[in-house]
Amino acid sequence: MKQVIVHIKLGLGASVMLLLLVFTVFTSDSEGFKANQSVGKNTSLDSRPLSLVLLMDASGSMRTTDSSEFRKLAAQAIALLLSPVDRIAVIEFDSDGRVLSDWSMASEKEKIINAIARAGNKGAHTDFRAALETAKNVIEEAPANSRKVILLLSDGIFEPNPFSDRYAPYNIEYRLAIRGEDRESIRRINEHYRNKLTPIARRIIDSHILPLFVEQQVEVFCVGFSTDADREFLSYLAEKTSQSKTESHAYFADEAVDLMDVFLGLLQFWQNSIKLHTEEDIIQLHSSKRIFIDEYVRDGKFIVLTDQAAKFKLRAPNNLEEEALGYTHQNLKIVPLKKATPPGSWSYIFDSGSGKYRLLIVGKSMIELEVEGLKQKYLFGERLECSVKVTIGGKDARGVLGPGSKVVVDVMTEDQLRSSIPLVETEKGFSLEYSVARVGTLKLRFTLHARDKNGNEMFPRPSKEFQCMVLPRFYVEPDYISFGDIDQGETKTYTVRIVSGLQENRTVRVHSKTTQLSRCEDEVAKHPRVSSTDFTIKPGEALSREIAMAIPEDGCWGDYEGELTFSTNHNESFKVRYSVHVPSIWEKLTLPLLVVLGILLIVLLVLVLLWARLKAPVGVLRPLSAPSGVLLDDIELGKVKRGIWSRWLNWKKNRIRIGRDHGDIVLELLPDDLRVELIFYRFGRDYIKNDSPEESKQEINVKDPDVDIEIQREPGETYDLSPGLRLKVGDYEFAYLR
């Protein structure tokens, strides 16, 4: 077999120079070299139980892009194919996230299927921030020893909910902006606020959600469908949380009908269940078809998706009919192979139904493809070299396969150009050497095509989908910078690595451009900007350079996203995305203000409890004796006239004061320095208190009917105020009655 290599068209001298430069760049910086090392084997399968969150877009666009609700059928298939020890939670999202089903064992099939069926399609927005926050709250309750995965499905672009308090104070601005406006005006306002709020929502995701996912090893797999799917953001989520940077965790389908293929392909990442076969056709009633399944397939399942309800029958090689799983949608059939063990031919037939059908076969393969030597990043023109071992139980499988076995890799570029390249067979396996003249992300899937020893054609054995980045000759790392919070008038630096694989010296300048912002759209002078000076980079050099992001003294607070363009004097350029947040005064005061509010709340609570304890004065003072010439009637304490302040708004509202010149009850012939208080409480006992100044030495006498002796109370002393108590104050004597 001939070796197939795709070359860049370079002259001999240029090729030699380029190889030298590549070697120099990759060895001149230890950190950069480590970042580009081979990731080794890519066959490890996590044996822990799976905790899977199905995060399903419920926005109104679903009524158009998925009118037949294929996403629900695909999600149901996933739920039915997982191991009974796995767990599933179901969340729908639009303006906010809603839990349709909290954690359930995968064996609780009916509960999960019903939850998926309840997912809606009438929401107003596609707020990924709300979706991921809800998923974060749910995933935190997953068992610690499980593999945590979020499967995010959406057909739209990032559209934050402008009514949400999470985007304050813009939510108030938005409500005022749309008041009294017609539908067309509201549409324009919505687009305006989508651009304002998206940087805020992304900052919340980057700073509060993704770090937690990375720390807890939560992987987000993203599936986008329709031409409107936010490919850039979904790819970013998947790459940011991936535990293996060469695995591709973001998938896209132009048609909703393709979602079943995509969803089933994900099983290979989670439980080594491979999509072995796919076919589409028109239902022909009572026409039997046969499919051979080789001996290296285990736990095989037929999955049939039809345009409408149809009766599907599957028979094993021994002519016994296989039984379909229950709880599925009428257009979905899942039939496990239980009546016989491969190898053999299974036959299927439709007894009713019409229209198109799609048949898929999944199963666990004893044959595995071990990919070694694939790196995360390659320089433009560098050869992509890796090898593939075909194994059974860790041993070379080629001895049990028929002649003519081959491994083919499908390579897809960002602009959807696809190449199918056969690998070269070697003593140890199969090898690939591939050079590409396009920069960007490459996606690769390796597939084994083979026959068994009897000459029967086996199902192709696909690998997982891998990805790697092809960097240009002039590039910068990282390709995204979060500057975090920067106050007005301040500057923050970030160190980047600039690499040149060019053949001559270059002068480099950095420019910044704001692409999305939450405020001050028309005041460019108030936007964040980089302060840059020209510098020179030599061929093969990797420079570390500080980039300084400055906020003007009168800069606007808010969120900003933009691009840093590193351009040379020969028109080479590389763009780096950035984000920066300028805190408002309100944000700076939030924490201290919350502390103060907390203290005030505690104080207020204590005051309320104290206030509730105070009782209005009750009872009657009946005169028993008075100085000569003084006439007194019964004094009803609840009717004693007092000012509004002392009666209602005073901490002594529960007290009646008796004195000569000052008091609620004035007794003109009392000594000037003799004062008495009657004190009442809602909870506990009431008291009489000698409130005279300590230096006066004035005493009051009380006679308790239960004791029948006279007791003296000096200044500051109290006594229980109970019905029948006699009180002698100066030359006055009263009985307290209720």
Q: Are residues 631 and 526 in the same domain?
A: no
Q: What is the CATH number of the domain that holds 699?
A: 2.60.200.20
pLDDT, position 240: 94
Whether residues 679 and 594 share a domain: the answer is no
Percent of the chain whose predicted confidence (pLDDT) is above 90: 67
316 belongs to a structural domain: no
Q: Does residue 178 fall inside a structural domain?
A: no
Q: How many CB atoms lie within 10 A of CB 41?
A: 12
Q: Are residues 464 and 492 in the same domain?
A: no
In a shared domain, residues 371 and 510: no
Q: What span, in angstroms and rounded, lies between the C-alpha atoms of 641 and 643?
A: 7
Joined together, the tokens standing for residue 619 give 């009872």
Q: Could you tell me if 660 and 721 lie in one domain?
A: yes
The number of domains in the chain is: 5
In a domain, 679, yes or no: yes
Whether residue 293 lies inside any domain: the answer is no
Choosing from 471, 506, 521, the residue where a domain stops is 471
Q: 90 and 151: one domain?
A: yes
Q: How confident is the model at residue 175 (pLDDT cuts 50, 70, 90)?
A: very high
Q: Where are the beta strands (DSSP E) in 458-616?
A: 461-471, 474-477, 480-485, 491-500, 506-517, 529-531, 535-537, 542-550, 558-568, 573-582
Does residue 301 lie within any of the structural domains? no
Local confidence band at 381 (pLDDT 50, 70, 90 cut-offs): confident
Residues 457, 393, single domain; the answer is: yes
Dihedral pair phi/psi, residue 608, rounded to 5°: -65, -45
Torsion of CA 595, 599, 605, 610, to 10 degrees: 180
Asked if residue 361 belongs to a domain, the reply is: no
Any idea how long the chain is?
A: 738
Question: Are 493 and 568 in the same domain?
Answer: yes
Q: Is residue 309 part of a domain?
A: no
266: its two tokens: 């994900």
Given this model, what pLDDT does residue 45 score?
A: 56
Q: Which CATH number covers residue 420? A: 2.60.40.10
Does one domain contain both 575 and 641?
A: no
pTM for the model: 0.75
Q: What is the CATH number of the domain that holds 254?
A: 3.40.50.410
Residues of the domain holding 602: 583-612
Q: What is the mean pLDDT of residues 9-28?
A: 36
Question: Across-strand partners of 317?
Answer: none
Pick the more confident residue, 130 or 393. 130
213-to-148, 167, 271, 607 alpha-carbon distances in Å? 9, 22, 21, 44
Q: Is the pLDDT of residue 25 over 60?
A: no
Same domain, 591 and 447: no
pLDDT tens profile 450-467: 999 889 999 999 999 999
600 and 708 belong to one structural domain: no
Whole-number mean pLDDT of the chain?
88
Which of 251, 271, 291 is the last residue before a domain boundary?
Answer: 271
Tokens found for residue 193: 């606020």
pLDDT of residue 14: 38
Pick the last residue of a domain from 442, 471, 500: 471
Same domain (yes/no): 257, 404: no
Where is average pLDDT lowest: 99-108, 192-201, 584-593, 611-620?
Answer: 584-593
pLDDT for residue 645? 63
